[in-house]
Structure 1
């Protein structure tokens, strides 16, 4: 186990360094000029050049990247061009809101998706099964901003059950969590259905039934724990999906997380914030997959980490 953890940590560090390099290259190649954004449209060429020199944007690419990587190894994510604040402090102040929304979304997608998948598996090849799978297909195909706007229109504008936007109470979190969770629920329902049908066909399920166990004991005591194994891996992947999709959802609902921070930085070409949010998102993806790999053997002792 110790050797496996060390290898995974080493691989994770290499992945994160690679992501910083690729992101830095893409931001270096974009035609927008951060110095011009900071100086404003009426600034002279000399003013723009002075700002570019102050920020180190006039240096060759390798020098800029080396400076960033050196600071990163010291725990410094840089300083925002426009807000004149440390990027680490900005992200840290927004991270609790994003994590809260992510937890709410995971709860929603698991509650909806696993229930749909379980019911569809138990009633396979029926009208209920078909209806649930069609609904899951709609879920995975619908853009998140469309779902968010529809939920806002129906439940906030028309019915007035939830606030239109903002942050601070449980009611503020419901609609954004459902928006993020609806997409994942579709994937989980299809995965749960396939996994449960496969498990119910196994010999140990027939053995459990032959012993005279009640149906709910067979279902929840034997079938469900084995059917959940692929779901664990999906949760780790979902952390990364939420980090990418959360930018849109936070903007729609006015949720003050790192997604909204990233969107504002993209509009202003604030490169240090974009790099910082990308790195935090990549770290969340790597950590989620790593934890999923560690949890899987606890559910199924047959799985060995090597």
Structure 2
């Protein structure tokens, strides 16, 4: 799925001698991140996981930890599948989460984002994802499904009728905001739509127009400030909402540079990031580079929040 024509690919001017070796040994990124050397969700020949496994979302339900991820296999349809783990690193695949004969759409579905919705009396789970009306239509809407236990998911409901990708939901007090990317000309922009108390969307609006191509979104927090991480031109860039309600770049360096020249690892290009803030892990897609028709797998790294944010200026964040 990484081969989106809407993503402008940049070439980093980082061709210093020996950089690839330093990167693979961990020397280049030894600051905030500690990368595992092997994927935690791998390709499986002759299956629905044969070509790509990507876009993870990880959450806990009781003593069980789940991952929902996007799978693309021999029949060329994107699906959301499940895996479980006891340690956050060794996953057991559980297969599809939906009975596809009962779905209201016939196309691919991917980009899951799961969040726990807790109240004084109960706890439940919400999943937001993108889906298409047919195999040939591409993505035509953002859908929502709910679960009481994190394992069994209810019939999806379309809440956004637009070709959006990679939804995430931000909670700020009583405000709930759904973000997603959508094509606008030659670039993807980020749209935001507030959700009312019953979860229904209000009017959407563009909150970020990049100067270069962007693709996937991640979410984490620093001192209760929601930070949107955007994959852009082989970097991960931090954004936050300013006083005007727009997303703006946080001054400072990118939190990651990826797709580095000289690197030959399976995850030379890293994207599709999901931050699990309870245990300071980031799950992500890894692939050899731009333009590969297959090979996306899921990896995990630990990160140090204090080092991640130590050089950022949050003074303009609301």
Please tell me the TM-score bracket, short chain as reference: under 0.3
TM, length-normalised to structure 1: 0.27
Q: Which structure shows the bigger proportion of residues in strand conformation? A: 2
Q: Of the two, which has the highest radius of gyration? A: 1
TM, length-normalised to structure 2: 0.26
Q: Which structure shows the bigger proportion of residues in helix conformation? A: 1
